[in-house]
Amino acid sequence: MNEEIQIILETTEKVLQKNINHQLRQNIDQKNDDLINVWNEVEEIGLPKIVVKEKFDGFNLEFASVLPIIQLSNSLGAPIPLSETILCNYILSECDINPPEGMITFANVAKNIKISGNELSGELISVPYLNLTDKIMFITKIDGVEKVVFLQNSNLDIEQKKNFLAEPRFNVNLKNNNIIEIKTLNPKINFNYLGAILRSAQMIGSMEKILNLSIDYCSQRKQFGRPLSKFQAIQHQISEMAVELSASSAALSTIASSEDLSKNIYDIAILKIRTGIAAGKIIAISHQVHGAIGFTKEYELAYFTKNLNSWRNDFGNESYWEEFLGKDFLENSNKNLWEYLTY
Amino acid sequence: MSKFNFPFISETKELSNLRKEVRKFISEALINKEFEPAADGWVFSANPNFSKKLGSKGWLGMSFPKKYGGNEKTTLERYIVTEELLASGAPVAAHWIADRQSGSQILRYGTEEQKQSIIPKITSGECFFAIGMSEPDSGSDLASVKTKATKTDDGWILEGRKIWSTGAHLSNYMIVLARTSPASEKNRHEGLSQFLVDLSLPNIGIKGIPDMSGQRHFNETLFDKVKLPKDALLGREGKGWEQVVGELALERSGPERFLSHFCLLENFINQFRHVLVKSGSQLIGRLIAELQTLRRMSFSVASMLQNGESPETQAAFVKELGNRFEKMMIESLREFSNIIPLYEWPKQLQNLFEDATLRIPSNSLRGGTTEIMRGIIARQLGLR
């Protein structure tokens, strides 16, 4: 890891550690001034534009190289759309749109999008953090051409989804809304691939935190006269969490050292599959070893496990990418498996 | 948390070229019918001629110094060669242990004389090793070994039994872990030593133990007051435990922990690709994701070994995940038989599948059980 990233990591850790506590996560689906204050601190150190081109006042870093920063901010559980903003601003910058100041979020799914003149209609599904921002980026196909759309409107017709997920999510009904900018998508950008990487890095950060919470809790909590961590049954379950986490981190390190992400579809699929599998196991084990306290809103475990449940389904779940990878090998390559693996 | 990190190591052009070279060698051997691909070839298929051929190619002990007949290649190069051999189901059992761990152990701890007399024979594929760790009463609890070596004026007297030693009946040497002084009350890892035992010495009895498939590969070895010369001691007296721990990192992190049954998977896919396209792409995608992640982790450990690090914990991660992957893979193929019934599979594939099914229970026992791996990881997490 280069020195520049190392310095950003240290600063990020300092700022987030100072500002984040579990109390902040209690009302994250509201318009929350405390969260906006956290955001302002984060913006002050320049994080939202680390992958933005210099001409738009960004740091011009590679998207792959900032994955450790996304991982870290999620291991600290910052309930602000930092990861989303980093990705949106990267895509906007690559498509020659000047990224806005402040928070911006993306729509995972855009349906029935129609554009006439400067007016937009259709539906945006499962958009995170519209309680904190009114800026949205999404990708849509217009007359067979992929376009990136940037939208800002404080009077959007939005419907809040049930708070099944840790970060708040909204559906948006677009009716003749004004577009701020629309441009043809830079062909090197694939939103679904980048989203899969982003969510995987976020999950890995969260899983690090979950593992640490489990270790700490089981070392402190005593039953039958000794700490839970002294029971072999507990030790083995927590070891399994570490094994799952290490496999996901290994898959992420492949992507993080990649020079051209658009050529790494195969490794992106592996990352999302491996991380999704790990998330499923880690959710189950961490709740099991925590007992009832982990099932409460007051204790912080569930904030992280709910996020995992949400993110493992974004941008293709395990089945989606397994199908993708299996087909890529079985149908699109004329290699045998060993040749395919060792390409 | 650095013990959980597996930095990505890319395969360089030189490594890819080596891979091609090994692949060509193997396909020629297959054309000449020098071997029949077999599952678990590093345990079950011993072929001293094939080992010798690998030695003459410079692919045994390839990272060892040239002055002992080695090739001074990197552990990454060795990794490539072993991967290719395992993936093809080649008969590598004869030399496997010597090449994987015993040679390195001698180079690390042995005397100049031991190195000169043994290492060149390992690299030429003419000297084979067995592991002398487990005993009838000491399995996972390795520090409880009772085999005893007593110092005499001109050497040592070795007494005891070793068990589950794969290939001992075909080997020239066994590295035996024995007690040389009683365990101290505080630390039972003290007082253990490693010995280089020439298996042709008198009073050594090697008896095969048929495994559940009826095949013989592992053995019980009886040492009945065997007289060992002074220089049979490997490394330092009383430091056997530390030495053994390092040896286990070599033993646990390699690709045999997830490629032992690869030739079954490859054969299966080649046979049923047309069916899998319609109804098995998700399964195959899952297997690819797991396998490729394991390959990267194991390659990363090879690089740590090359850098002189001690990746015992990372090795435990690889072994644990690898064992689990192989069991899952065989189970998935079994479930596929609801689409094409097993009795309609080609004979060779049926055999591979049945062998794998019979052998798979051992993958999470040999080289340290699942429970031991989890214990190592738990210690690293500060839980023990």
The pLDDT tens digits of the residues spanning A149-171 come to 999 987 889 988 765 667 889 99
Mean pLDDT within B226-255: 94
**Tens-place pLDDT, residues B213-222:** 899 999 999 9
Contact B321 A247 (CB under 8 A): yes
A322 at B interface, C-beta within 8 A? yes
In this structure, the answer to whether residues B169 and B114 fall within a common structural domain is no
Candidates B87, B282, B297; nearest CB to A338: B87
Of B239, B263, B288, the residue that ends a domain is B239
Structural domain tally of chain B?
3
CA B369 – CA A152 distance, rounded (Å)? 58
- Mean pLDDT value of segment B47-54: 98
Same domain, A252 and A315: yes
Closest in B19, B276, B293 to A330, CB measured: B276
Q: Is residue B262 part of a domain?
A: yes
pLDDT of residue A258: 84
Establish if B84 belongs to a structural domain.
yes
Shortest Cα distance, chain A CAs vs residue B195, angstroms: 33
Angle, vertex CA B9, rays to CA B4 and CA B11, nearest 5: 150
Q: Which of B183, B208, B239 is the last residue of a domain?
A: B239
A263 touching B (Cβ < 8 Å): no
Nearest CB among A234, A239, A336 relative to B270 is that of A336
Q: What's the gap in Å between the CA of B384 and the closest CA on chain A?
A: 7
B10 and B121 share one domain: yes
From A184, A210, A230, the end of a domain falls on A184
pLDDT digits (tens, 9 = 90+) for B59-83: 999 999 999 999 999 999 999 999 9
For residues A173 and A210, membership in a common domain is answered with no
| Other C-beta atoms lying within 10 Å of the C-beta of residue B140 | 12
Active site residues of B: 251
* Residue A169 and residue A205 in one domain: no
Q: What is the pLDDT of residue A163?
A: 56
User: Is B348 within the bounds of a domain?
Assistant: yes
- Measured distance CA(B26)–CA(B90) in Å, rounded: 8
Q: Predicted confidence band at A1 (pLDDT cuts at 50, 70, 90)? A: low
Q: Does any CB of chain A come closer than 8 Å to the CB of residue B267?
A: no
Cβ of residue B8 closer than 8 Å to a chain A Cβ: yes
* pLDDT recorded at residue B1: 46
Query: Do A178 and A232 have their domain in common?
Result: no
Interface membership of B284 toward A (CB under 8 Å): yes
The pLDDT of residue A164: 61
Interface test mutation site (partner B, options A329, A334, A339, A343, max chain B beta carbons within 10 A): A329
B296 and A250: CB-CB below 8 Å?
A: yes
Does residue A14 sit in the same domain as residue A104?
yes
For residue range B316-327, list pLDDT tens digits in order: 999 999 999 999
- Mention every residue, 6+ apart, whose C-beta is less than 8 A from residue A117: none
Q: Residue A218: which domain range?
A: 191-342
Q: Identify whether residues B263 and B375 lie together within a single domain.
A: yes
- Token digits for B55? 């030695």
B117 and B138 within one domain: no
Mean pLDDT throughout B253-270? Answer: 96
Residues within 8 A of A (CB atoms), B 310-339 only? 314, 317, 320-321
Is A210 at the interface with chain B, CB within 8 A? no
Q: Are A88 and A94 in contact (CB under 8 A)?
A: no
B301, closest residue in chain A (CA to CA): A250
One domain, residues A237 and A97: no
**Is residue B28 one of the residues assigned to a domain?**
yes
What is the tally of structural domains in chain A?
Answer: 2
Indicate yes or no: CB of A254 within 8 angstroms of CB of B8. yes
What's the CATH code of the domain at B358? 1.20.140.10
Cβ partners under 8 Å of residue B180, min gap 6: B148, B149, B150, B151, B191, B192, B193, B237, B238, B240
pLDDT band at B201 (very low <50, low <70, confident <90, very high): very high
Rounded distance, CA A278 to CA A203, Å?
9
Q: Do A253 and B6 touch (CB under 8 A)?
A: yes
* Mean pLDDT in residue range A37-44: 96
Q: Which residue of A has its CA nearest to B273?
A: A330
> H or E element: which one contains B235?
none
Which residues of chain A does B87 touch, with a Cβ-Cβ cutoff of 8 Å? 338
Q: Phi first, then psi: what are they for B168, rounded to 5°?
A: -60, -35
A75: distance to nearest CA of chain B, Å?
A: 13
Query: Is residue B212, in this structure, part of any structural domain at all?
Result: yes
Contact A8, A69 (CB under 8 A): yes
Examine the fold and report which residue of A184, A214, A248 is the final residue of a domain before the chain moves on.
Answer: A184
| pTM of the predicted structure, to 2 decimals | 0.96
In a mutational test of the B interface, the residue from A330, A336, A340 whose CB has the highest number of chain B CBs within 10 Å is A330
**How many C-beta atoms surround the C-beta of residue A79 within 10 A?**
24
- Among residues B196, B300, B186, B290, the alpha carbon closest in space to that of B247 is found at B196
* CB-count exposure of residue A343 (10 Å: 0-12, 13-18, 19+): exposed
DSSP sequence for A260-303:
-GGG-HHHHHHHHHHHHHHHHHHHHHHHHHHGGGGGSSSSSHHH
Mean pLDDT value of segment B221-242: 97
Q: Which of B282, B290, B318, B321 to mutate to test the interface with A (most CBs of A within 10 A)?
A: B282
Q: Touching check for A7 and chain B: CB below 8 Å? A: no
- State phi, psi for A32 to the nearest 5 degrees: -120, 115
Of the residues A157, A184, A211, which one is the last residue of a structural domain?
Answer: A184
Which of B273-279's residues contact partners 24+ apart within 8 Å by CB, and which partners? B273/A330, B275/B339, B275/B340, B276/A326, B276/A330, B277/A327, B277/A330, B277/A331, B279/B339
Query: Position of tokens 């396209």?
Result: B277
Q: What is the DSSP string of B339-372?
A: TS-GGGS-HHHHHHHHHHHHHGGGGGTTTS-HHH
Query: Residue B2: what pLDDT?
Result: 58
Same domain, A196 and A175: no
How far apart, in whole angstroms, are the C-alpha atoms of residue B98 and residue B68? 14
Domain check: are B105 and B187 in the same one? no
* A235/B374 CB distance under 8 A: yes
A111 and A211 within one domain: no
**B102/B23 same-domain check:** yes
Task: Please state the rounded mean pLDDT for residues A135-153.
Answer: 94
Please provide the average confidence, as pLDDT, over all residues in chain B. 95
B282 and A319 within 8 Å at the Cβ level: the answer is: yes
In a domain, B364, yes or no: yes
CATH number of the domain within which A225 lies: 1.20.140.10
Mean of pLDDT values over A105-112: 94
Kindly state whether residues B222 and B210 are assigned to the same domain.
Answer: yes
| CB contact (8 A) between residue B289 and residue A273 | yes
Cα B200–Cα B204–Cα B209 angle in degrees, nearest 5: 105
Query: To the nearest whole angstrom, how far is the Cα of A338 from the nearest Cα of chain B?
Result: 7
Domain boundary pick from B196, B211, B239: B239
B225 and B266 assigned to the same domain: no
Q: Does residue A205 sit in the same domain as residue A90? A: no
| Residues A171, A44 share a domain | yes
Of B317, B308, B326, B325, nearest in space to B376 by CA? B317
Is the Cβ pair B289, A331 closer than 8 Å? no
What's the pLDDT band for A257 if we cut at 50, 70, 90?
Answer: confident
Per the CB < 8 A criterion, the answer to whether B161 and B183 are in contact is no
Is B20 in the same domain as B89? yes
Structure confidence by residue, pLDDT tens digits, A16-33: 999 999 999 988 888 889
Is B44 inside a domain boundary? Answer: yes
CATH number of the CATH domain containing B226: 2.40.110.10
Same domain, B228 and B286: no
A71 lies in the same domain as A201: no
Query: CA of A256: which chain B residue's CA is closest?
Result: B8
Q: Do B382 and A219 touch (CB under 8 A)?
A: yes
Structural domain for B279, as ranges: 253-380
Same domain, residue pair A216 and A333: yes
On whether residue B245 sits in a domain, the answer given is no
Q: Is B209 on the interface with A (CB under 8 A)?
A: no
Q: Are residues B220 and B192 in the same domain?
A: yes
Residues 228-257 of A with CB under 8 A from B: 229-230, 232, 234-236, 238-240, 242-243, 245-247, 249-251, 253-254, 256-257
B294 and B363, same domain (yes or no): yes
Rounded Cα gap, residues A145 and A142, in angstroms: 5
Q: What is the pLDDT of residues B9-34, one digit of tens each?
A: 999 999 999 999 999 999 999 999 99
Stretch A133-161: mean pLDDT:
91
Q: What percent of chain B has pLDDT over 90?
A: 94
Q: What is the pLDDT of residues A77-93, one digit of tens each?
A: 999 999 999 999 999 99
CATH number at residue B55: 1.10.540.10
Candidates B24, B279, B381, B384, partner chain A, best to mutate (most A CBs within 10 A)? B381
